[in-house]
Structure 1
């Protein structure tokens, strides 16, 4: 089984970050830290104009949190620390001065939806249905909530949160504003991502940076908000309800 990894490849002012884990691209703490650091590293490079974030494999984009780590959490401090991993990735995407394109080739669950929502521009295939399953295991999409709500609005966010057992189709996600485009094949998706990234890389870098700042205006309170949300998730993951639910999936 392939090892987990996070890589950064650079080509003609476009940086492409690829993350992968063998468990449907679910994200443990180690990979979340690497992803955060790689995004920050890319944003500090003077030779990059655009950032693309994608996952390895041709099926699930990201299955969200690592259940193995969730089960192993023993106290609220550990719980908060784990969920801060997702918070820090979202904040890194927000702070990164590069316009960020997220490529979603398959299903996105929980934190995977958060990654898509934290993009400046997100493209997907028709197989990229989404689900926020957190409330069904006794937690909730608290950390990713601000990013998702910012993209699709309160009504759609509440629908997908409450109906936690259902996958919502890629076209639904496009209609709500999460995806800019939906393609029939991965090949068509990759062509579109490459063209858009290449076009953006040829534009005035100062205009790109100012646009990024404009898009993320009024999100400054997220630093404290996501930390508070991580603490809430870290507390709830220790509840008897959630412990039993997680064990049933083990």
Structure 2
């Protein structure tokens, strides 16, 4: 087994060819720009490694899977270029998942908010616990889930995406996410989730590598324009985050 640790992102590769990429942030596994960059790099690295047969994407801890964007970093954005660069970090992670030649299994142990929902959607297969409720809160702070929307809509469709976006302050249950197609399987607790993730990853690692590569290509058909599309969406979010409405909403949230 090989192990690489880079700050709040690390990955291991087992003798079976299972790469486990883990990210962590003390603020409910939120995603500042440096963590996003490192996470994208790790996905690309595992995808290019011939020893890797399948990838598990997970976060640290036993509570929140991912709280989305770092609000502290959003408040620090003072110009459109910086804003676009920050949101491009989410675009880069989604495109890394899309371009990676290996099947990615997401392990979602708890709540997923905003960009966390985008991470789950960018995986090829997603396993979760009953505690993994989901929310797209962006509209409530004056922006929208524009960068992650192609990935989320690809999984759950327009009606469910509309509900998740417009009901921006409401969590939807893990079973709702399962019914809509974001989650493929839901388990009672973390031990059952861990067992299921390991069993599935071992099965996939034993399959013909070329068959998995071809499957990956089929799963992502019709997304060849996402490099430019997500960059355009990042620019929209980067502009909106500068608004007085959004800055006040972010400050109110941090002051709670």
Kindly report which structure 2 residues correspond to 1:139-218, keeping only aligned pairs within 5 A, or say none. 139-218=143-222
Which residue in the other structure is 1:6 paired with? Answer: 9
Q: 4+ runs of 1 displaced by more than 6 Å?
A: none
Which residue in the other structure is 1:125 paired with? Answer: 129
TM-score by length of 1: 0.98
Which residue in the other structure is 2:3 paired with? Answer: none
Distance 2:253 2:211 in 1: 48
Distance 2:185 2:77 in 1: 38
CA shift for structure 1 position 248: 1.1
Can you list the C-alpha shifts for 1:130-150, whole angstroms capped at 9, x where unaligned? 000000000000000000000
Unaligned stretches of 5+ residues in structure 1: none
Distance 1:248 1:99 in 2: 40
Distance 2:174 2:10 in 1: 27
User: Is 1:219 paired with 2:223?
Assistant: yes
Which residue in the other structure is 1:110 paired with? Answer: 114
Distance 1:7 1:247 in 2: 31
Which residue in the other structure is 1:26 paired with? Answer: 30
User: Is 1:136 paired with 2:140?
Assistant: yes
Unaligned stretches of 5+ residues in structure 2: 1-5
Which residue in the other structure is 2:43 paired with? Answer: 39
3-state SS of 1:34 partner? helix
How many aligned positions are there?
248
CA shift for structure 1 position 114: 0.1
Distance 1:54 1:237 in 2: 28
Q: Is the CA contact (8 Å cut-off) linking 1:4 and 1:22 kept in structure 2?
A: no
3-state SS of 2:30 partner? coil
* RMSD over equivalenced CA pairs, Å: 0.9
